Amino acid sequence: MNDVTRPTDPAPAKVLSPAAQRALAEAEARRADYERQAASAPKELGGRGGQDPARYGDWEVKGIAADF
């Protein structure tokens, strides 16, 4: 083993092209818009708990499984 410690220099910041900067700004705007829409959506009352069944493939509710 090598017990010599080397000083860690912070990595230099990457220089982004104008197109990359524009893409990052657009992505941030899309995320903010999505969060705004999600916050303004009405809350579900009496819905099933847990994860989204369409996403996780779990169609079992109260012991009855439906696979469609």
- Per-residue pLDDT tens digits for 52-66: 666 666 666 666 666
| Domain map (residue ranges) of the chain | 18-65
User: How high is the pLDDT of residue 68?
Assistant: 54
pTM: 0.46
| CA torsion angle 2 3 5 6 (round to 10) | -30
Q: Can you tell me the mean pLDDT for 8-26? A: 90
35 has a pLDDT exceeding 80: yes
User: How high is the pLDDT of residue 17?
Assistant: 95
- E runs forming strands in the chain: 60-61, 64-65
Percent of the chain exceeding pLDDT 70 equals 65
